[in-house]
Structures are given as C-alpha cells and as structure tokens.
Structure 1
C-alpha cells in the first residue's frame, strides 16, 4: 500500500503542481496541502501522515525548529522531510537532532526526492548531495583541523551564546532569547572567536563538538 503525504509549504501553485505529479506517478496514495501551522497540527492530530514534507521557506528558522520538535515528539512514526534553503552544516545538524529523517536542498532534483522517499520507506535517513558535500568539507577543513588552545576561559554568558550559535541561531534570535541587544551579542561573538582562536561559526561548532559542549 502506498503511503500518504502531507505537504507544508507555499505557494499553492507550486504545491498543487507537485502533488499532481506525485499522484500521477503513483508515489503516494493521497496528498494533503497546508500553509499554516494551526491547520497542520489539527490535521496531524486527526490523521497523521506517513510522510511529512516541510519547506524551510514557510517559517523562520526558530519556528521551524519548534514545529519539527513538536511534531516529532508527539508522532514518532511520521517521517519528516525538510526542503532547505542552502542551510549550513550547523542548521542541518540541528534539524536532524530535532527529528527529521531527510534533508533536501532547494536545488535538489526530482530524482533525489524519489531517493529520499525510498530511503525513508526502508527506515533509513537521507541527506542530499549538496548537504553531504558541505559536511565532508566541514569535517576535512584544514583551517579548523586542530582544537584551538584557549588562553582565556569562556564566561558563563559566552558559553550560553556559544550553545545558541551551535543550534544555528542568528544574532537577532540570540538577542531576543537572552534579552540583550544585537550589538552585545556581536561583541560576545567576537570575544568567543578570539578566545577559541577560530575565524567563524564553523570553528566554534567544531570546538564545541570536540569538547562535548554540544551533543
């Protein structure tokens, strides 16, 4: 029996066109389309789908995290696929930690989508070629190959901001969560980079992973 699919995305012209293509090719038995979280949550509560495809363009990043966290924690059998918008390794890693099973980028082709569906049907995860290449570059980066030597320890606030950076939050997100100005966040960011002797957020995440600051 073919699985059913729920699409959370917009615009309607695109989502209706995609659903017709998938139904014509008999990939899914039925497809439902939603463009608000309220309607999506109500639908999932009444009729949870086998597959859920979410576009990252429809929500802010923090809202996307919350949406996936809510759905995955309450419906462990739903296979969540995210269509990303050229997200970096930090964000993709966070999405998988929240509970997605597949990551496709906006530039992924139809064949990759089908590969993703087949992988999830076999209880595997799927990462598109674009994201795989980024992860390989992240791991093999010569620039951040060694753990930096810290001459001055991070403060409690700097550790707090470091963890939020690793979760993929922007300076604006961090400013709102910690009730501090964006300028203050940027000052902390610069001090963290200086103390860790790294040049960007990739180096910060690598340090945090290697020192078990994040899981």
Structure 2
C-alpha cells in the first residue's frame, strides 16, 4: 500500500483529492495539511512514501519549506501538484531533489501513474512542461502550449493583466475594478508566479503573445 500525504491550502480541493485517491487500488492517504507548518509538525511522526505538495502555501515560502522538509525527512519523495506552470519555478525547486511536478489540470489516471512512477524510484513531470529538455532556456519561460488563457488564469486575473499592460497603476486598477490596492498587488504577484515571468515586461509579452492586447 502506497502511503501518500497531501498538503494544499484549498480545503474543498484537498478533501476531494483525499477521497479520490483513497478510492484507488494500492493507495492510502495517511494524512493531510492545509499549511506548511501543519505539514512540518506531522512529518516527524508520520510514515510517508510520497508527499503530494502544492507550490504556494499561505504561511511559508516554497524553498524554506523544502529545506525544513529535507531536515526532517531527507529521503522523502516529493511530487508537486500545482497550477504553477512557469518552468522558472520548477528549476528552483529541482535544487531540492524533488521527484516530480504535475499540473492540476491532470486526470486521476495520470496522477496515479505519477505516484506509481515516483514510488518506483523514477521522476515524473507533466508533458506540457518539457522539463527534461536540457537545451531549453527555462529562466523566463511561459509554458502554456495549446492551453487557452482562461484555463490558466481566472477572469479577474485576465482583467488585472489587461489593465497592467495598459499602464494602469495598482491604485487605478483597484478603483476601476472596485478592489483594494492590496488585492491588486496580490493578483499581480500571482500572475508573475503563474506565468513564470520575472516582471511586468514578462506579463506584457505574455499578453501580446496570447492576443490579450494589441
């Protein structure tokens, strides 16, 4: 029986994933956590084969979390399951010997296959990422391939992105969309993270490439 521990800060998604995996033959979800600190508190006393982990958690950065995980269980197999598509993120995480990276638009068959592959001592990455292409420059890559923009970004994120590209300030965007400035700042950070770019210039290039602006 493959023992899986899941950490994700979206409660409804996490509960559904636990139920789904527990219905798969040979897999048992032996624990879950909504935050990084909750995960870290359970690790010392929990026997885990694979940790299924989201990239962004509300209480701790991804690299800091990985460092602490490796201190507690150095050999733990870690498979990321996330919406974050930018390969810049993946290469940052690879420094900590992660075993795989899977996008949340996957299906149960691919997720099960990924878990079995990692459990067998091999690595598994979403085909959409092309992570094993060592000749590719991942420093500032937006990897959406044939996916539609609205499969990656929410309607609100697209609105914010469009206004950013039109040179609206955070305060102007907040007024136009009836949001707080801090909410707009959060959307901007999430856009940069999701798309794997480094700054506003990268956001504009993405918008132009995907015909969100002229």
What TM-score, normalized to structure 1? 0.57
Q: Shift of the alpha carbon at 1:129? A: 0.8
Question: How far apart in 2 are the matches of 1:34 and 1:93?
Answer: 25
Aligned pairs (5 A) from 1:1-215 = 2-59=1-58, 63-132=61-130, 136=133, 139=136
Question: How far apart in 2 are the matches of 1:52 and 1:103?
Answer: 12
Describe the shift of the 1:10–1:98 C-alpha distance in structure 2 as closer, same or farther (beyond 3 A): same
- Verify the 8 A CA contact 2:53 2:78 in the aligned structure 1: yes
More helix by share: 1
Report the RMSD for the aligned CA atoms in angstroms: 3.2
- Alignment: residue pair count: 145
Greater Rg by CA: 1
Please, which runs of 5 or more residues in structure 2 have no aligned partner? 139-188, 190-197, 206-214
- Verify the 8 A CA contact 1:51 1:80 in the aligned structure 2: yes
**More divergent stretch after superposition (42-51 vs 72-81):** 72-81
Where 2:27 maps in the other structure, the secondary structure is coil
What TM-score, normalized to structure 2? 0.58
Q: Shift of the alpha carbon at 1:89? A: 2.0
Describe the shift of the 1:75–1:140 C-alpha distance in structure 2 as closer, same or farther (beyond 3 A): closer
Question: How far apart in 1 are the matches of 2:44 and 2:77?
Answer: 15
Question: How far apart in 2 are the matches of 1:23 and 1:131?
Answer: 27
Q: Shift of the alpha carbon at 1:84? A: 2.8
- Verify the 8 A CA contact 1:8 1:33 in the aligned structure 2: yes
- Verify the 8 A CA contact 1:68 1:99 in the aligned structure 2: no
Describe the shift of the 1:125–1:137 C-alpha distance in structure 2 as closer, same or farther (beyond 3 A): closer
- Verify the 8 A CA contact 1:19 1:31 in the aligned structure 2: no
Where 1:4 maps in the other structure, the secondary structure is strand
Q: Shift of the alpha carbon at 1:54? A: 1.0
